[in-house]
A and B are shown apart, each in its own frame.
Chain A
Amino acid sequence: MRVVKTPAQSLSVRGLSRQVAVALLSWLLGSGCTQTTAEDPLASDPDAVAKGQALYVEHCSVCHGTSGQGVSAPSLLPSTQSESSLREIIAQRMPPGSPGRCSGSCAQYVTAYIKADMKAGSPTCGERSLGVRRLRLLTRKEYQNTIMDLLPQRSGTCVAPVFSYDPMGKTLRSVHVAGSFNNWPATLALGGWPLTYSATEKRWKLERVLDPGSYSYKFVLDEKDWVTDPGNPRTMPDGFGGQNSLLTVTCKPGATQLDLTADLPPDARPEGYGFDNHSDGRLVSSSHLEGFRKGAEIAAKQITDQLSTVLPCDPNGGRAAACAEQFLQTFGLRAFRRPLRSSELSRYQALIVSQKTFAEGISAAVQALLTSPHFLYRSELGEPQPDGTYKLTAYEVASALSYLFWGSMPDEQLFAAAARDDLRTPEQVKEQAQRLLSSPRSRTVLGSFALAYLGAEDILTANKSTVLYPDFSTALRSAMAEETQRFFAHVALDGSGRFEELFTADYSFVNADLARLYGMSGVSASTHAKQSYGSVQRAGWLGHGSVLGSYAHSDQSSPIRRGLFVRRQLLCEELPPPPPNAGGVPQVDPKATTRERFRQHTSVAFCKSCHQYIDDVGFGFERFDAIGKWRESENGQPIDSLGDLNDREALGSLTHAQYGSLKELGQLLAESERARYCFVRKTLRYVQGAQEDVGQHFCSLWRLQNRFRDSGHRMQELLLAITESEGFLLRAAEAPTQEGVSR
Chain B
Amino acid sequence: MSVFSRRTLLRAAAASALALPLGGLDPAGRRALAAPSGGARRVIFFYFPDGVAGPSADGSPSLWHLQGSERSFSLNEQLQGLGTLKDDCVFLTGLSSGPTDTGSHPGGAKKLLTAVDGGNGESIDQYLAKTAGAGALFRHLYLGAMANHNSASGDKHISYPSAGTSATPEDSPMRAFERLFGKTNPSGGGSGGGTQDTLAVSVIDATMKDLEELRAQLGNVEKKKLELHVEALREVERRVKGIPGMMPPPKATCSDPRIDTAGLSDAVLYDPGNFPKILRAQLDLMVQAMACGLTKVGVVQASHHTSELIMSRFPATEMYDPKFDMRSHQASHYGPSQDKGKREFRDYFAQRRYWVQQFAYLVDQLKQRPEGDGTMLDYSLVVLCSEICDGNTHSHDNLPFIVAGKGGGALTTGRLLQYGYRRHGDLLVSIARAMKQDIWRFGDSSSGPLPGFLSGGFSLR
Contact = CB atoms under 8 A, between A and B. Distances in A.
A283 B162 contact: yes
A467 interface: yes
Contacts of B340: none
B167 A285 contact: yes
A583 interface: yes
B333 A273 contact: no
A351 interface: yes
Interface in B198-235: 199-200, 202-204, 206-207, 209-211, 214, 217-222, 225-226, 228-229, 232-233, 235
A266 B168 contact: yes
B150 A458 contact: yes
Interface in B88-106: 100-104, 106
A289 B179 CA distance: 11
B315 interface: no
A351 B333 contact: no
A283 B226 CA distance: 9
A135 B221 CA distance: 10
B118 A285 contact: no
A100 interface: yes
Contact of B221 (A100, A132, A584): A132
Interface string A272-297: 11000000110111111110010010
Contacts of A372: 206-207, 210-211
Contact of A268 (B153, B179, B211, B229): B153
B126 to A, nearest CB: 10
B151 A266 contact: yes
A581 B225 contact: no
A381 interface: yes
B72 to A, nearest CB: 34
Contact of B202 (A354, A381, A587): A354
Contacts of B267: 474
A461 B150 contact: yes
A351 B206 contact: yes
Contacts of B57: 581
A268 B165 contact: yes
Given A364-B203, A458-B150, A373 B394 contact: no
Contacts, number: 205
Contacts of B218: 135, 381
Q: Is the interface of A mostly helix, strand, loop or mixed?
A: loop
Contact of A583 (B207, B229, B233, B333): B333
Given A268-B153, A463-B272, A364 B202 contact: yes
A465 B170 CA distance: 26
B233 A289 contact: yes
Contacts of A267: 153
Given A98-B100, A135-B218, A287 B149 contact: no
B232 A133 contact: no
A581 B335 CA distance: 8
Nearest to B179: A290
Contacts of A283: 161-162, 165, 167, 225, 228-229
Contacts of A474: 267
B379 interface: no
A371 interface: yes
A583 B170 CA distance: 32
B378 interface: no
Contacts of B153: 266-271, 281
A363 interface: yes
B236 A461 contact: no
Contact of A374 (B104, B210, B229, B344): B210
Interface stretch (B62-70, B253-261, B324-332, B407-415): B324-332
A191 interface: no
B199 A355 contact: yes
A289 B199 contact: no
Interface in A373-411: 373-374, 381
Interface string A336-357: 0000000010011001001110
Contact of A135 (B222, B332, B394): B222
A239 interface: no
Contacts of B206: 347-348, 351, 364, 368, 372
A444 B392 CA distance: 43
Contacts of A363: 199
Contacts of A268: 153-154, 157, 165-168
A284 B332 contact: no
A285 B221 contact: no
A507 B266 CA distance: 34
A98 B155 CA distance: 15
A495 interface: no
A269 B154 contact: yes
A285 B393 CA distance: 36
A367 B199 contact: yes
Interface in B297-312: 308, 310
A735 B225 CA distance: 13
A581 B155 contact: no
A141 to B, nearest CB: 13
Interface in A457-482: 457-458, 461-463, 465-467, 474
B308 A554 contact: yes
Interface string B333-355: 11110000001100000000000
B461 interface: no
Nearest to A733: B219
Given A363-B199, A368-B206, A372-B207, A584 B228 contact: no
A584 B344 contact: yes
B394 A581 contact: yes
Nearest to B100: A98
A585 B151 contact: no
Contacts of B164: 270
22 contacts: A98-B100, A135-B226, A272-B154, A284-B225, A284-B232, A287-B179, A347-B209, A348-B206, A360-B199, A363-B199, A364-B206, A368-B202, A368-B206, A374-B210, A463-B272, A465-B325, A474-B267, A554-B310, A555-B325, A581-B57, A584-B330, A734-B220
Interface of B: 57, 100-104, 106-107, 118, 138-139, 148-151, 153-157, 161-162, 164-168, 170, 175, 178-179, 195, 199-200, 202-204, 206-207, 209-211, 214, 217-222, 225-226, 228-229, 232-233, 235-236, 267, 270-272, 308, 310, 322-325, 327, 329-336, 343-344, 392-395
List 10 A-B pairs, minimum CB-CB distance, nearest first: A584-B333, A580-B103, A271-B154, A368-B206, A268-B153, A284-B229, A734-B219, A735-B221, A286-B232, A372-B210
